[in-house]
Amino acid sequence: MIIEPSRTMKRLPEQFFSRLVSRANQYIKAGYDVINLGQGDPDLPTPPHIVKSLQQAAENPVHHRYPPFTGLPELKEAVASWYKKEQGVELEPEQEVAILFGAKAGLVEISQVLLNPGDVALVPDPGYPDYWSGIAIAEAEMVPMPLLEDNAYLPDLERITSEQRRRAKLMFLNYPANPTGACAEPAFFDDVIRFAEENNIVVAHDFAYGAIGFDNRKPASFLTRPGAKEVGVEFYTMSKTYNMAGWRVAFAVGNRDVIRLIEQIQDHYHCSIFGALQEASITALTAPQDCVRELVDTYESRRNAFYEELDRIGWKKSRRSKGSFFVWVPVPDGTTTSTEFANRLVEEAHVVVAPGVGFGEHGEGYIRIGLLDKEERIREAVRRMGSL
């Protein structure tokens, strides 16, 4: 028989990162020494005290049954306490916190619960490609907001037309940013809140890299600004802060009406996260945060090493990454496309990077490099790039 995929499946964008993995694996299998800096997968292990917490909790029979479908109340309380301690943000645990099966799931679900066919979602360009997936599932339209180096990789709200404002129901933001490594100042968030209020647009701020800021600057949550909870929600993940990428635990916080809708759609998909994973997440959020500070120091040292080597080979200058674990650099003059250059890097230097166009039209001319290997390997990767 012939299996015909649904229209929804046909609308989904191709998974950009799966192509990167496949290409890297080809050269690894062929025996080459490949330095893979193309993905966003943390390379360091989960801190031992969090692993131990999971091991102990897994032995508790209470976690062998279904947990509460909306998550353990104790985890919601830990999230609220963490936000209060780290960002000074007050949250009501039961109504303003939703537990997610990874932030990616929540970033897809928010489009499903807010958008109808023909509605518009405003997305950063370049930006995280998985924002596009939920928009496609909802049969909505995507309007890119160009993020240009001349504007510190912030969207120019004045460039959004009156027709786009009228049809827009949702705006995605992400600071510290993937892929650009840019951070946003509080004044920008204030402008966004006014814009959202005036145009009745929900703001979805992806704060996945919220713990990772450089040069003695701590990134600020969108929710620290007055009025933020009235217009939006923020997504945070355990993956980046605690090296828990494979654990798939995250949360959305903020506007209680949006939180209720996210929990409602999750009721139709899931029966909540394994209780032992939630217990370990409580441990991560409530224990001393020394491991987080050490992690940020590691990424900052790697970033500095990367730019030192970049200067040595005379690479074209660009804005230094202010946060996240990515650097965003222009391709050399004379290169046709970012994809062409990325292909040449893996073929001739055996270094995997992400071509900027994979993050949107305005990513063309750049490559994204993850600081996700040992410092000496990152230096070696840049030297190989210079050899071309």
Segment among 17-26, 57-66, 80-89, 200-209 with least mean pLDDT:
17-26
What distance in Å separates the CA atoms of residue 206 and residue 332, rounded to the nearest whole number?
30
What distance in Å separates the CA atoms of residue 195 and residue 197, rounded to the nearest whole number?
6
Check whether residue 135 and residue 277 sit in a common domain: yes
What distance in Å separates the CA atoms of residue 126 and residue 147, rounded to the nearest whole number?
6
Check whether residue 183 and residue 196 sit in a common domain: yes
The whole-number pLDDT of residue 124 equals 98
Mean pLDDT of 296-307: 97
> Rounded to 10 degrees, what is the CA torsion of 158, 160, 166, 168?
-120
Check whether residue 267 and residue 383 sit in a common domain: no
Single out the residue in 241, 258, 286 at which a domain terminates: 286
Which CATH number is 268's domain given? Answer: 3.40.640.10
Check whether residue 62 and residue 34 sit in a common domain: no
Number of domains in the chain: 2
Question: Which one has a higher pLDDT value, 14 or 331?
Answer: 331
Check whether residue 319 and residue 244 sit in a common domain: no
Mean pLDDT of the chain: 94
The whole-number pLDDT of residue 31 equals 87
Query: Which tens digits make up the pLDDT trace of 126-136?
Result: 999 999 999 99
pLDDT at 110 over 70: yes
Check whether residue 19 and residue 108 sit in a common domain: no
Tell me the pairing of strands 366-370 and 354-355: antiparallel
The whole-number pLDDT of residue 37 equals 93
Check whether residue 231 and residue 296 sit in a common domain: no
Number of Cβ within 10 Å of residue 237's Cβ equals 25
Answer yes or no: is 244 within a domain. yes
pLDDT at 74 over 80: yes
Answer yes or no: is 2 within a domain. no
The pLDDT confidence band at residue 206, using thresholds 50, 70 and 90, is very high
Answer yes or no: is 1 within a domain. no
Mean pLDDT of 50-55: 98
Single out the residue in 227, 253, 286 at which a domain terminates: 286
The whole-number pLDDT of residue 271 equals 84
The whole-number pLDDT of residue 16 equals 66
Query: Which tens digits make up the pLDDT trace of 308-365?
Result: 999 999 887 778 999 999 999 999 887 789 999 998 999 999 999 999 999 999 999 9
Question: Which one has a higher pLDDT value, 111 or 272?
Answer: 111
Structure tokens at 310: 């970049």
Answer yes or no: is 16 within a domain. yes
Answer yes or no: is 370 within a domain. yes
Mean pLDDT of 27-34: 88
Check whether residue 147 and residue 255 sit in a common domain: yes
Single out the residue in 270, 286, 302 at which a domain terminates: 286
Check whether residue 145 and residue 93 sit in a common domain: yes
Check whether residue 235 and residue 174 sit in a common domain: yes
Number of Cβ within 10 Å of residue 307's Cβ equals 18
What distance in Å separates the CA atoms of residue 181 and residue 212, rounded to the nearest whole number?
10
Answer yes or no: is 296 within a domain. yes
Which CATH number is 320's domain given? Answer: 3.90.1150.10
Answer yes or no: is 127 within a domain. yes
Of the segments 172-181, 263-272, 329-338, which one has the largest average pLDDT value?
A: 172-181
Q: Residue 365 is part of which domain span? A: 7-45+290-387
Using CA atoms, how far residue 58 sits from 12, 50, 62, 272, in Å, is 36, 12, 9, 15
Check whether residue 110 and residue 257 sit in a common domain: yes
Mean pLDDT of 379-385: 96
Answer yes or no: is 267 within a domain. yes
Check whether residue 97 and residue 68 sit in a common domain: yes
pLDDT at 149 over 90: yes
